[in-house]
Structures are given as C-alpha cells and as structure tokens.
Amino acid sequence: MIKMIRIAAVVTFIGFAFIACNSFQYRETNRFYKKQARQLSKQIKEQPYPIEVANVPQWVGTTNFDLRKPNFVIIHHTAQNSCEQTLRTFTLERTKVSAHYVICKDGSVHHMLNDYLRAWHGGVAKWGNNTDINSSSIGIEIDNNGYEPFEPNQISSLLVLLTNLKDKYKIPTENFVGHGDIAPGRKVDPNINFPWKTLAENGFGVWYNPTDSISAHQNLNVPQALALFGYDIKDTTASILAFKRHFRQDSTKFMTDADKSVLLQLVQRKLSGK
C-alpha cells in the first residue's frame, strides 16, 4: 500500500511538472529565439568569398578576430503599465521592438537578448557622430509608465547590472545615456524622475559640480555646445529639453544662466577627457 502511495505521489509530481513546463507563457517565443540565433550563427560561420573584380582565386582568412562588442548603454522607461506587459510586447513579432534587459519594479532583471546581438530599442537616433545606436549599444528598459518615480529596488538592480556591463565590455563612463538624449523631440525616457546623478556618482554617465561657477557661459553658443556634448541639434528646442530633463530635472525650454554654466562645464570636461 505504501509503495503504491509513493508511486502515485511520483506520478502526480511528474504530472504537475509537465503541466508547469507546458503552461509557460513564453515557451514558443523562446523556441523562436533559438531558431533565430541558429540562423544568425550560420551567417557568422560563412567564410569570406573572393571578390570577382579583384581576380582573387580563393579567400585567405585572418587569424585575428573576435566578436564586436557594445560601446554604449541606453536607458529607457517602458511607458507601459507592468513588467508582464513589456515582456509580452517584446515577444510579439509585429511590434518590432526589443531590448537586451528589462528591470521590473521588484528589482528582478530579465535578460532577453544576448549582449552581442542587435536589439531594436533606439530607433532613429543620433549621439555625436553615431547614427546607428542599435548596432553599438545595449538597451535597458525599466518598468515605469513615464510619470512615476522609479522604485529603489529597480535602481539597485540597475547599478549592479551596469557595473557588470561596464567591467565586461569596458564601456566608457560618458557612454551611459538615455533614450531621450539620443532621440530628442521623439523620446523623453527615462523621464524627468530618473536619478541620473546617482548613476553618475557610481561611474555611469557624467555630471557636474554644482558649486562651480563658470562666467564664460554668458557668451556660450548653446546649440554649438549641445552638439559638442553629443546632442542632435536638428531641433534645437528639443535638444535643450533633452539636456534639461537629464541634467536639470526641468521640463522648461529656456536656458538660464545656471543651465548654461552646467552645459559649459560638461562640454569642457568632455573635451578635456575628464
């Protein structure tokens, strides 16, 4: 009798495990991910071919190469109402959007795409001379509807993640920016509540010394300074708003003397490499 009870218990356990595995919401999209990865790996394995116009009979493969690695981190807010909603969005082919990481309100982190693969998170964007941000960056989405404060657990997890990414890929400190920075006028995330100062204090992004006063800001050419820093100034007002959201937590479009002083300080630090 005891033996039969044990067998029944084992069968029940296996049954529950089977149901759990088969009820996983993203089972099919994970399978699609693996299929896509296999197809891309085939492309990577393809050997170079002789260029006919050069009249070279066969290819000669170099022995010195590795994978291209990310050089930027772009931070977003999801502009949705839950982490689950964002995961759903990123697993529907028709949305054509994705990110490498999603950070939920409880601090849990979903790694949705291999860091070496190109996510579709930046869209039409520009930072400095870089006009293909997706090809050189890692996208991080933080669960936030765009109007609320960020949860402490989210920021704690973000700092741990950024530490790992910076160390692993040697990403420059100044290359941690927001979606609103690279797409002014089109995007505003990660919104005015995002703690950029906290990130900068931990080595992710640049900041300024609030006690420094630079009198030269009176003759500052604001659009030129914004462009030197990295902003796309095709729409000057939009780039000013992006700058002020990030560094002043301000949503006004007018540059005060204090704003100009901060911008000049940031440009000088960038040009000096500090």
> Rounded to whole angstroms, how far apart are CA atoms 84 and 87?
5
Contact 230, 128 (CB under 8 A): yes
- DSSP conformation letters of 83-132: HHHHHHHTT-GGG----SEEE-TTS-EEE-S-TTS--S-S-S--BTTB--
Contact 240, 222 (CB under 8 A): yes
The total number of residues written for the chain in this structure: 274
> Is residue 141 annotated as part of the catalytic site, yes or no?
yes
From 46, 141, 151, 201, active-site residue: 141
Asked if 226 and 264 count as a contact pair (C-beta separation under 8 A), the reply is: no
What amino acid is encoded at 105 in this protein?
A: K
Q: Within 10 Å of residue 249's Cβ, how many Cβ atoms? A: 14
Q: Which are the contacts of 230, defined by CB distance < 8 A and separation ≥ 6?
A: 127, 128, 177, 181, 270
Task: List residues with catalytic annotation.
Answer: 141
